[in-house]
Amino acid sequence: MGDEECSDRRFGGCYMKGNHTKSKIKIVTKMVFCRKNEIMCGIVGYIGNKKALPILIDGLKKLEYRGYDSAGVAYIENNNVQIVKSVGRIDVLENKLNMKSSTTLGIGHTRWATHGEPSEDNAHPHISNDGNVTLVHNGIIENYQELIHKLKKHGYHFYSETDTEVLANIIDYYYKKYKMGPIDAINRTMVRVRGSYAIAVLFKEHPDEIWVARKDSPMIIGESDSGSYLASDVSAILKYTKKVYYIDNLEAACLKSNHITFYDLNGDIINKELKTIEWDVTASEKNGYEHFMIKEIHEQPEVISKTFHSYVEDDKIDFSKSGLSGDILKDINHIYIVACGSAYHVGVCAQYVIEDLARVPVKVDIASEFRYRNPLLSKDGLVIIISQSGETADSLAALREAKAMGIKTLAIVNVVGSSIAREADYVLYTLAGPEIAVATTKAFSTQLIVSYLFAIELAYAKNVIHKDKYHELLSEMNLLSNKIEDFLNKGIKSIQKIASEFSSIQDAFYIGRGLDYAISLEGSLKLKEISYVHSEAYAAGELKHGTISLIEDHTLVIGIVTMEDLYEKTISNLIEVKSRGGYILTISPNTIDVSKVSDYNINIPSTIKYFYPSIAVIALQLLGYYIAVAKGVDIDKPRNLAKSVTVE
């Protein structure tokens, strides 16, 4: 990397410490992050006949789970663009604003930075050199260094470390060069930039319009009698309208207070279908719970039942809405599940259930590996992408990879109209409703339900199971939400007590065999995500091949023991741990006797082996939650995490 590149550390070159003589240059991996400083943010906008600032602030608060280290708004007052930015939570911004302003038009942004301190310079909105263009952006511009050099040659200068400021200036550059108005400038910019973006733009010469465009980053546009709205996701505008439009990649729109016009990349006007959102606004409120996470944990019985009954009627599974028929299923001979984070753990559980029930081979991949592993996929295979948000970049890229290889794709997704949902061949929606807490709970549980239904329908379509087994499995699934409701009512107290005993632990190990191992992965992630305790999940039989060396007096080992056919093996693994001084906390149904090994036991309702992950995970979520509560950390917005990562 030449010195000229390193001379300006503001723009993603090497990170130099001290003077610039070669020997002192130190390339730090952080540089990669530098290019990704807009990894996940929330944008919102409004133009209409109401006061805009309260709507912007309210929307940004709803989007705070997407990023919460700095924020800003831009609004028009007396035909001038006013910009107010702040470091910290939205409350800080709200206190800085003159909320009495009568402006009825504005855009807002809440940021989540990974590199460079959150600062007012780096916070959005960003403005072009002469203030002609002001914008907010969610996503990343890959070729912004190249654009900076181009714009510098045309006399532009830069005040921030962000790729977004480049966007404001390149739009201004085309606006002035071709004098063809906003849509021409935006379309030329979309052709010129590489990367992902959802942008909302104000043009000084068009003070009664908000312009938007997107590629790969999420954006929804709302319409109501009181005006037009835009947001990164519907929870920010649900309070004002349920009538929304989804714009596709490389499309733009002009929002006026009483009209919205859509454009394609040629600048031609296009029609978009107006959709109605099923969710209601209370879904995105805390309803008296201390945290969204515990509220969403308590919503699981209801959303599990809703999701189950959205596919099962008269004791029969119906995937027809997705287009996934029995004929298609019976010809599928390979399953490839690809996902990230907790969704990947659903995939690991689904692998056990599908292979055992339908006898179809299943491979489970982490999306960020799948997309570069040049996988060998069989033509008679099906790639299943699991994602709550439907916007996780690695999962979206894996979907496109599979499609490019000519393999059928199925998406199991929670957000209607999300990119993954719209690009997959088949979609099975989960009905978890909006999930606000960064650590997923109810979406995870509904993904399990859809995975079980998929396994049962596949097994039936392939004549591996017959009617009796089919009905036996469905009737047991139909009992799950009540069993979980019951457990939530009766089990919480004992888990709170156990959690308070372990609130000062530094390390924990989760072990199990078969499906118990699969769900222990999620248990371990939940503890890590929200309480920052180091924890690992292991196949119980694997411990003695190395990791058991880490077990010493009072090391907490959480054993999930629900698989009756693996009972003895699991118990003997727990005895191995106990004999090295480990503290054993077991999670087991009362049909299984763990008294020989457990120092603490969380008793869960019994069910059929395939469905134990759905019950055990509730205990695991609560354990992680209450240990985090005891540690007093920010449960809904854990450090360094975001709800879904929309760039690679």
Segment near ligand BG6 (CB under 6 A), from 340-348, 354-362, 566-574, 593-601? 340-348
Site string for ligand BG6, 597-616 (x = CB under 6 A): --------------------
Stretch binding ligand BG6 (CB under 6 A), from 190-198, 255-263, 338-346, 555-563: 338-346
**Residue with smaller CB distance to ligand BG6, 235 or 388:** 388
| Residue 251 to residue 261: CA distance in whole angstroms | 11
Which 439-458 positions form the footprint of ligand BG6 (CB under 6 A)?
439-440
Q: Which of 343, 353, 402, 628 forms a contact with ligand BG6 (CB under 6 A)?
A: 343
The C-alpha atoms of residue 292 and residue 305 are separated, in whole angstroms, by 20
- With contact defined as beta carbons under 8 Å apart, do 54 and 629 qualify? no
For residue 125, the 8-state DSSP code is P
Q: Map residues 371-410 to x or -, x wherever contact with ligand BG6 holds by CB under 6 A.
A: ----------------xxx--x--x---------------
Q: Does 196 bind ligand BG6 (CB under 6 A)?
A: no
Catalytic residues: 41, 643
Beta carbon nearer to ligand BG6, 310 or 440:
440
- Nearer CB in complex with ligand BG6: 214/526: 526
Q: C-alpha distances in angstroms, 61 versus 70, 245, 284? A: 12, 22, 11
Q: Which is nearer to ligand BG6, 322 or 430 (CB)?
A: 430
What minimum distance in Å lies between the beta carbon of 359 and ligand BG6? 28
The minimum distance between CB 626 and ligand BG6, in angstroms, equals 19
Size of the site for ligand BG6 (CB under 6 A): 17
Rounded CA-CA distance 517/524 in Å is 11
In this structure, are residues 103 and 51 in contact, taking their beta carbons and an 8 Å threshold? yes
Interface residue with ligand BG6 among 610, 644, 646, 647 (CB under 6 A) is: 644
Question: Closest residue (Cβ) to ligand BG6?
Answer: 341
Cβ proximity to ligand BG6: between 295 and 643 the closer is: 643
**Which one, 240 or 246, has the nearer CB to ligand BG6?**
246
Residue 135 to residue 72: CA distance in whole angstroms: 11
Residue 556 CB contacts under 8 Å (≥ 6 apart), including other chains: 502, 505, 507, 508, 509, 582, 583, 585
Measured from the CB of residue 411, what is the shortest distance to ligand BG6 in angstroms? 10
Interface with ligand BG6 in residues 423-442 (CB under 6 A): 438-440
Write down the least CB distance from residue 447 to ligand BG6, Å: 8
Comparison of 301 and 341: residue with beta carbon closer to ligand BG6: 341
Q: Per-residue b/e over 484-513, b at no fewer than 16 CB within 10 Å?
A: bbebeeebbeebbebbeebeebeebbbbbb
Which residues, including other chains, have CB under 8 Å from residue 203's CB and lie 6 or more apart? 132, 133, 175, 182, 209, 211
Residue closer to ligand BG6 by CB (options 630, 641) is 641
Residue 641 as a binder of ligand BG6 (CB under 6 A): the answer is yes
Cα separation, 463 vs 543, in Å, equals 38
- Token look-up 């239904």 returns 453
Class of residue 553 by CB neighbours under 10 A (exposed 0-12, middle 13-18, buried 19+): exposed
Contact between 60 and 30 (Cβ < 8 Å): no
Q: Which of 340, 348, 416, 432 binds ligand BG6 (CB under 6 A)?
A: 340
Q: How far is the CB of 143 from ligand BG6 (least distance, A)?
A: 25
Work out whether 284 is an interface residue with ligand BG6 (CB under 6 A): no
Instruction: Please identify, among the stretches 18-26, 278-286, 468-476, 640-648, the one whose residues bind ligand BG6 according to the rule CB under 6 A.
Output: 640-648
86: number of Cβ within 10 Å: 20
**Nearer to ligand BG6 among residue 128 and residue 387 (C-beta):** 387
Burial (Cβ within 10 Å: 0-12, 13-18, ≥19) of residue 607 = buried
Give the rounded distance of the alpha carbon of 622 from its chain centre. 20
- Of residues 196, 197, 193, 177, the one with CA closest to residue 185: 177
The site map against ligand BG6 for 89-128 (x = CB under 6 A) is: ----------------------------------------
User: Under the criterion CB under 6 A, does residue 281 sit at the interface with ligand BG6?
Assistant: no
Please pick, from the candidates 317, 642, 646, 647, the single residue that binds ligand BG6 as defined by CB under 6 A: 642
Per the CB < 8 A criterion, the answer to whether 352 and 521 are in contact is: no
Selected binder of ligand BG6 within 342, 441, 520, 598 (CB under 6 A): 342
In one-letter notation, the amino acid at residue 419 is: S
Choose the binding region for ligand BG6 from 122-130, 535-543, 603-611, 638-646 (rule: CB under 6 A): 638-646
Residues 569-591 as b or e (16 or more Cβ within 10 Å = b): ebbebbebbbeeebbbbbbbbee
CA distances from 262 to 136, 449, 527 (A): 19, 38, 45
Give the SS3 label for residue 428: strand
Question: Which of 561, 645, 646, 647 touches ligand BG6 (CB under 6 A)?
Answer: 645
**Contacting positions for ligand BG6 (CB under 6 A):** 340-343, 387-389, 392, 395, 438-440, 641-645
